[in-house]
Structure 1
Amino acid sequence: MQPKKTDFSAFRPFIPYLLAYRRENFFAIVLGIINGLSAVFMSLEIGRAIDQMLGKGRVDFAGLTRELLIFAFCIVMNVVSQWLIQRLGNRVAYGAATELRKDAFDHLNRLPLRYYDQEAHGSIVSRFTNDIDAVSLAVSSVFNQLFSGVAVVVLALVLMFQMSIALMWVVVLSTPIIFFVNWSVAKASQANFAAQQKSVGQISSFVSEMVGNQKVVKAFHREARNQELFEGINEELNHIGQKAQFSSSLTNPLSRFVDHLAYVAVGLVGGWLMLKGESAVTVGVISSFTIYESQFTKPFIEISGMITPIQTALAGLRRTFDLLSQSPESEQPYCPALDHVQGEIAFKDVDFSYTADQTLIRDFTFTAAPGETVAIVGKTGAGKSTLVNLLMRFYDVTSGTITIDGQAISDVNRDQLRQKFGMVLQDTWLFDGTIRDNLTYGRPEASQAEIDHALRKTYMYDFVQRLPEKLDTHLGNQRLKISDGQRQLLTIARTMISQPDLLILDEATSSVDTLTEGKIQAAFLEMMKGHTSFVIAHRLSTIRNADQILVMEQGQIVEQGTHESLLKAKGWYYDLYHAQFEE
């Protein structure tokens, strides 16, 4: 739900990030006072210089020279202090944004898998780019004006009070009008900026999906349809963005209009006071007041000109702290560790549902003996991958227990639990880096002999040795291109190098040809001797030698046994098997 008015509550949790830079803030306050003093005295010296030229019927060159020297000194102090304030402002703004981005990414790493399943990935990425960049830009802009602006307002008010109370009230009364204009426009435009940031996240998500899946797009001739969808999202962003920009753009011209009226009022009232014979009001005083009026209202007008980045930053902060407010996985630092895993895995009366109104796993009970290879088969949506998610504690069971060697995994530290498993998934993932870095991702301390052994077992050793830089060859979009089968072989080698106690293969050989698949299966069998492994497979030819085969349907075991016993039973497995190998 979008906010209906300007809501600065999102800024409150960001304040500690800014206050962390105490030294920079302290010097910024000091420099802001110096900058304000120099700006105010520049205006005062201009008035005095004018009076020196017009007073007593002749020019006082000595007095004029003195005023001009003071004026020049004030200019130097003003320029230097403003430059230093900008340097400090950039350091605080981008430093605070960096810390916020770091905390957000750290929190993202600790969020449960459920969050990633429910949130568009492009929207998540947008928080780290568009949203936090908008925050740093707005903070830098405001920081550069805040301290010097406050100093100018206070000092100008004091000097104006000493020079002419009547003219001071002309200036002071215009300020609430400017503030009211800014507040009214900001109140009306906040919802538009929140909607704009949400739309930016949607377009980022759409483009990310389409760019990452161009093969599928082109294979199904979806270019024209995707163009239509993109133009729809883009047009919505255009519409919302224009509304947000238009509403916020009213503040600056309206503020300047009020400022110009006050400027004219100072001239009219000052001239009227001179005609009345007010001795304290001179041409120089009126000149100084016209500048003071501009200086006094300048901070308010400049803030009004920054309404757009401020509103965008508030929307970005709201989205970022919404991510930070998501409950992370419990760390369980004092839970007992899994030592010397034998490999007995038991599901006892397990129920699980992704949503409260739809139960996927019902009353699931099963035990895998140490060292067994357990194959899980069934139709799409039967709950095969869900069992793996529960075993790895990517999700926690709704009821029931899962144990390893008699110890409930809910009582085990998640990180230590997952370290015991080696996973090879259908979707391969190799990051932009060297082959060596990818292979040792789960075990950086692996020796060269262990790496070579895994490459030989996956039949990738000769391929790597033929590369110019061998293991130091870079993989990535702009680097070495390898086939899907080769990517899968490297991920299998990576799992071997990690030396897990337990193994999970989720369609692990789906991208490998039939001949290589047999060799990989032999390598896995050798690697997992004496260790429990779970194999999820649609290609039933890969699981004939499994110790147990579980046939699942709608979250329950409908058949259980070996390959031969299940074929003899002529039930669910028999139908699945002959559907694939029917002559």
Structure 2
Amino acid sequence: MKTKSFDWNSLKRFFPYLLRYRKENMTAMLLGIIAGLTSVYMTFLIGQAVDQLLGKDAVDFNQLYKILGLFAGIVGVTTVSQWFIQRLGNRVAYLAAADLRKDAYQKLNQLPLRYYDQTSHGNIVSRFTNDMDNVSVAVSAIFNQLFSGVSVVLLALFMMVRMSVVLTIVVLLSTPIIFLVSWAVARASQNDFRQQQEIVGQVSGFITEMVGNQKIVKAFQQEENNQQRFETINQELYVRGQKAQFSSSLTNPLSRFVDHLAYVAVGFTGAYLIFSGSELVTIGIVSSFTIYSSQFSKPFIEISGITTQIQTALAGLTRTFDLVDQTPESSDETGKELTAIQGEVRFEEVDFAYDSKRPLIENFTFTAEPGESIAIVGKTGAGKSTLVNLLMRFYDVDSGKITIDGVDIRELKRDNLRQQFGMVLQDTWLFDASLRENLTYGNAQATDEEIYTALKKAYMCDYVMRLPQKLDTPIGQQGIKISDGQRQLLTIARTMISNPAMLILDEATSSVDTLTEKNIQSAFLEMMQGRTSFVIAHRLSTIQSADKILVMDAGHIIEQGTHEELLAQKGAYYQLHHAQFEQ
């Protein structure tokens, strides 16, 4: 894929984030003008001081001391001004980056689940950390040069023209060459920087995945293979990064070389004019002019010195705006809201595929009556969990429709739809916080009595009561460590506390021992009473009391009925049951 050498669009889109902080920008602009004036005036005073050195035993010390005293005061003003500019630059840079990071995170909440399934989580995290940090550093560096630099350039140009037009022309001839060098290097290396940031995202994704699954890595003795994979990616990052850094690092020395040639040209031209008898040029003027030419080109050279940071930041901006530009879920602001739920769920000729080239669910039709418990069984990949994804609108159907109490779920607000379901999944999730915060995640108004009642039903109350801070005990990296089975029991309690209208249980007791599973089934049966429930299970012993059992294969219902009816048919369900209980 062909990429642009310089992404102006990302840069233009970031400007509004910087312009939000008008007070800081205006203050920095004022201080920049002051710093520019004082810097240029210092150079003028240097020339004046040199001209007081008339010769041996011919130095006007009184005038020289006045100039040096004034010079010291101006140095102080310049230093203070530049210090404040740096502080303001850091503030604007990090606030602007924080605003962009906030917008990007807000966009994450709007993206469909498909994006998360298809994108490395570590790569996403890298856009919020590495990429945005690079933007902050580059903006801060540019900000420190911008206001005072522009003032110095304009004022130095004014003073140079005022002192000598000929010498000014000599200086101006070198400036386009500096611009040309910087542009050529940036054009050649920007694509390398973009690819470097992409590989940084890959490294972040790989490490996130491996660290999070280190038990499995060690269990399958994959440390050496993972080390080789990491070294391959790391080597690719080294090669691409070295190429980007090398090409970008040429900018500053080349710019300085051109600038030094300008010094030499000014010196030769000034000397020629003096020896030619010109009264318009003095040694003091040549001295000042040499410094003015340095001040005039200094902002351009300093910008070229942070070319690497700028290009890395541009690559980071491009990746961040790529996230911001992802197509969000369709708007549901005008959607309906369900209030009194009866619980009739109907699939009508539903077609769906994660990949259009590989159909998964085709012409799927089924009705769950209010209050029924529907068990879904089948081989791995049969489409069981996909039905849950469609029912919760994590994915939308390709054709057909799903209705709840006769209302197409695509006409409902997603939040309202998902509030109707309580979910207990095979993959448990608890965040680093107190037990209370985790348990009330779906019902912030739950009382302690409701929490303890749910914990008793989930067989976790005794455990919680033994904890030092009970419900206020922190769990996770900053708190106590709990087992996978305990995590699953807590997620079950969390669902009970949320008191949903309907239930989805996807291998809800997969990490629980058999005895606890039998005990908790009674709690599930009580919770499912009067609620339409969908239960996905591999252990058939847990779904024998279901009102209907759907046997799925390749996205189709191949059998349905009660446990006894399906055993009597001696079909696919009978074979699954026989395989589990033949001993």
- Does TM, scored on the shorter chain, surpass 0.5? yes
**CA offset at residue 58 of structure 1?**
2.4
Aligned positions of 1:42-53 closer than 5 A: 42-53=42-53
Q: TM-score, normalised by structure 2?
A: 0.99
Check conservation: 2:49, 2:64, Cα contact below 8 A: yes
The 2-side partners of 1:202 and 1:66 are apart by 62
The 1-side partners of 2:96 and 2:2 are apart by 26
Question: Is 1:171 equivalent to 2:158 in the alignment?
Answer: no
Q: TM-score, normalised by structure 1?
A: 0.99
SS of match in other structure, 1:403: strand
Structural RMSD (CA): 1.1
Q: What residue in structure 2 maps to residue 380 of structure 1?
A: 380
Check conservation: 1:424, 1:504, Cα contact below 8 A: yes
Question: Is 1:301 equivalent to 2:297 in the alignment?
Answer: no
Q: Which portions of structure 1, spanning 4 or more consecutive aligned residues, are displaced by more than 3 angstroms? A: none
**CA offset at residue 391 of structure 1?**
0.3
Q: What residue in structure 1 maps to residue 283 of structure 2?
A: 283
Q: What residue in structure 1 maps to residue 191 of structure 2?
A: 191
The 2-side partners of 1:420 and 1:574 are apart by 33
Q: What residue in structure 2 maps to residue 473 of structure 1?
A: 473
The 2-side partners of 1:334 and 1:235 are apart by 51
Letter in 2 for 1:213: N
The 2-side partners of 1:558 and 1:436 are apart by 43
**CA offset at residue 25 of structure 1?**
0.9
Q: What residue in structure 1 maps to residue 488 of structure 2?
A: 488
Letter in 1 for 2:564: E
Aligned positions of 1:36-75 closer than 5 A: 36-54=36-54, 58-75=58-75
Deviations 1:321-340 (A, max 9, x none): 00000011123112110111
Check conservation: 1:376, 1:536, Cα contact below 8 A: yes
The 1-side partners of 2:55 and 2:527 are apart by 100
Distance 1:56 1:276, change over 3 A: farther
The 2-side partners of 1:437 and 1:73 are apart by 59
Check conservation: 1:378, 1:551, Cα contact below 8 A: yes
Check conservation: 1:348, 1:365, Cα contact below 8 A: yes
The 1-side partners of 2:11 and 2:115 are apart by 24
SS of match in other structure, 2:52: helix
SS of match in other structure, 1:53: coil
Q: What residue in structure 1 maps to residue 129 of structure 2?
A: 129
Q: What residue in structure 2 maps to residue 221 of structure 1?
A: 221
Q: What residue in structure 2 maps to residue 352 of structure 1?
A: 352
The alignment covers a number of residue pairs equal to 583
The 2-side partners of 1:333 and 1:85 are apart by 45
Q: What residue in structure 2 maps to residue 541 of structure 1?
A: 541
Deviations 1:446-472 (A, max 9, x none): 100000000000010000111111111
Structure 2 gap segments, 5+ residues each: none
Q: What residue in structure 2 maps to residue 337 of structure 1?
A: 337
Check conservation: 1:425, 1:507, Cα contact below 8 A: yes
The 2-side partners of 1:52 and 1:74 are apart by 19
The 1-side partners of 2:373 and 2:219 are apart by 37
Question: Is 1:410 equivalent to 2:410 in the alignment?
Answer: yes
Structure 1 gap segments, 5+ residues each: none
Aligned positions of 1:302-321 closer than 5 A: 302-321=302-321
Deviations 1:492-528 (A, max 9, x none): 0011111111110000000001111112111011112
SS of match in other structure, 2:396: coil
**CA offset at residue 54 of structure 1?**
2.1
Letter in 2 for 1:121: H
Between 5-14 and 178-187, the greater mean CA deviation after superposition: 5-14
**CA offset at residue 538 of structure 1?**
0.8
Q: What residue in structure 1 maps to residue 461 of structure 2?
A: 461
The 2-side partners of 1:265 and 1:485 are apart by 79
The 1-side partners of 2:417 and 2:239 are apart by 49
SS of match in other structure, 2:558: strand
Check conservation: 1:426, 1:510, Cα contact below 8 A: yes
**CA offset at residue 281 of structure 1?**
1.1
**CA offset at residue 61 of structure 1?**
2.7
Deviations 1:47-100 (A, max 9, x none): 001112227972223322332232122211211110111111111100000011
The 2-side partners of 1:459 and 1:319 are apart by 47
**CA offset at residue 2 of structure 1?**
5.5
Deviations 1:266-306 (A, max 9, x none): 11111111101111211111111111111111011001011
Letter in 1 for 2:215: K
**CA offset at residue 135 of structure 1?**
0.4
